[in-house]
Amino acid sequence: MFESVFRHIKRRTISHLEYSCNPFQFVKFIPRHIFIKASSYTMSVQRAIQIQRPKVAKLVTDAPIPSIRDDYVKVKTVAVALNPTDWKHIDFLATEGAIVGCDYSGIVEEVGSAVTNLKVGDKVAGFVHGSNGDNIEDGAFAEHIVAKAAIQIKIPDNISFEEASTLGVGITTVGQGLYQSLELPWPSTTSITTDKSPAILIYGGSTATGTLAIQFAKLSGFKVLATASPHNFNLLRSLGADEVFDYHSPTVGAEIRAATNDRLAHVFDCIASESSVAISAEAISSTGGAYSSLLLVKEFPRADVENKRTLAYTGIGETFHKGGTEFPADQSHLDFQVKFWELSRELLAQGKVKVHPPEVREGGLEKILEGAEDLKHNRVSGVKLVYRV
């Protein structure tokens, strides 16, 4: 035994040794790092995309690995996906040190003491609060992340890590927009649409949220109309859209109202721009209706239309702040998301809902910010940018 130890020591340089004259204290000849506790070998820092200041984020190599919380899981990320909210937080809602990103897939490596729905080794996907000014470690664009366990799902066997990484913001927002906000009937695999079915407009149908919304609205028994660029029409039709309209057309609002015989009562706006608001207002029935958007539209042009909005982050059920406004924790939003994510997993596993087409780009975390720039400058259409970590 002694001989093997000393042979090991001979291979080390003297600068790494602590000398002792007592041969029975041979262990002091062993490099110090050998005696460091095993837990100390766990890396405490990682690579991540962090906000530096407004309009500036970068890949860092010394971001702290987040600590587990009671109702969270720690996940080794496998793939992540981009959303417009990522670059918008970098540009307009920047918090120094906040990790960017909301959508991910990965493998559970640790579970909090209160978690019962997941275990170590599970393949999971879901939604996290990226660029969170209240908890800057919460983002997805990192090698290790933490996620609220209740609204993460085990990835169905028929979906890859890359496909699963596209779901987070989309599933969360569709649940809020269609079912909490517009109060559509719960989706069912037996729903059938007819000429008498109520209509809904999904504005921005080719977005990652829009393609999911089309499918869920169809499963809720609605005749689905959608707007998009013509090159995405076939994609939307393949997912269940009954009629698709070119939002570039100067008469698109009137066209939609005519197609619905002036009976359109529901609009889910996945763009929430000045033009999308105007077109939606023109398309909704002359007798009024309900409009829900991803962003706050302070003044809808028509008083006879209910103006609602969604904010995915409320689905986590924790207090947070955006732009100086406090959003108090709302347990009912979390409870809803738990049920909706469970249903969504079933529909995905059955093939009743398909993921938004992923465009898997090479380069991993190093290239994410390039993708964010493409998204920011409208160079991405009909696909969702995905990166393997």
232 compared with 14, residue with greater pLDDT? 232
SS3 219: helix
Separation CA 155–CA 349 (nearest Å): 9
Range 335-374 burial, b when 16+ CB lie within 10 A, else e: ebbbebbebbbebbbeebbbbbebbbbeeebeebbebbeb
Range 135-144 burial, b when 16+ CB lie within 10 A, else e: bbbbbbbbbb
Q: Are 74 and 43 in contact (CB under 8 A)?
A: no
SS3 384: strand
Q: Are 191 and 259 in contact (CB under 8 A)?
A: no
Query: Residue 42: what pLDDT?
Result: 53
Separation CA 81–CA 140 (nearest Å): 9
Separation CA 337–CA 233 (nearest Å): 30
Separation CA 128–CA 134 (nearest Å): 13
The H or E element containing residue 254 is helix 252-259
Query: Residue 85: what pLDDT?
Result: 97
Q: Which of 232, 254, 272, 220 is nearest to 356 (CA)?
A: 232
Residue 144 scores a pLDDT above 80: yes
Query: Residue 189: what pLDDT?
Result: 83
The 10s digit of each residue's pLDDT in 240-263 is 999 999 999 999 999 999 999 999
SS3 277: helix
Query: Residue 125: what pLDDT?
Result: 99
pLDDT-based confidence at residue 204 (cuts at 50, 70, 90): very high
Residue 136 scores a pLDDT above 50: yes
383, two tokens: 């696909």
Residue 183 scores a pLDDT above 80: yes
Query: Residue 43: what pLDDT?
Result: 63
pLDDT-based confidence at residue 190 (cuts at 50, 70, 90): confident
Separation CA 85–CA 80 (nearest Å): 14
Which sign, positive or negative, has the C-alpha torsion 143, 147, 149, 150?
A: negative
Q: Which of 152-156, 296-300, 312-316, 368-372 has the lowest mean pLDDT?
A: 296-300
Q: By 3-state DSSP, what share of the chain in percent is helix, strand and coil, each rounded to 5?
A: 35, 25, 40
Q: Which of 230, 201, 231 is nearest to 217 (CA)?
A: 201
% of the chain surpassing 90 pLDDT: 85
31 compared with 148, residue with greater pLDDT? 148
Residue 84 scores a pLDDT above 60: yes
pLDDT-based confidence at residue 295 (cuts at 50, 70, 90): confident
The H or E element containing residue 236 is helix 233-238
Query: Residue 318: what pLDDT?
Result: 98
SS3 68: coil
Residue 99 scores a pLDDT above 50: yes
Average pLDDT, the chain: 91
Query: Residue 110: what pLDDT?
Result: 98
Q: Which of 17-21, 70-74, 152-156, 215-219 has the lowest mean pLDDT?
A: 17-21
The 10s digit of each residue's pLDDT in 262-281 is 999 999 999 999 999 999 99
Q: Which of 56-65, 277-286, 293-302 has the lowest mean pLDDT?
A: 293-302
Query: Residue 34: what pLDDT?
Result: 37
- Largest pairwise CA distance in the chain: 97
The 10s digit of each residue's pLDDT in 299-322 is 899 999 999 999 999 999 999 999
Residue 14 DSSP code: G
User: Could you tell me the domains of the chain?
Assistant: 2-40 (no CATH), 44-167+355-388 (3.90.180.10), 173-310 (3.40.50.720)
Residue 25 scores a pLDDT above 60: no
Separation CA 105–CA 126 (nearest Å): 7
Q: What are phi and psi of 66, to 5 degrees?
A: -65, 150
SS3 345: helix
The 10s digit of each residue's pLDDT in 118-131 is 999 999 999 999 99
Query: Residue 298: what pLDDT?
Result: 81
Separation CA 211–CA 214 (nearest Å): 5
Average pLDDT over residues 155-182: 98
Residues in the chain: 389
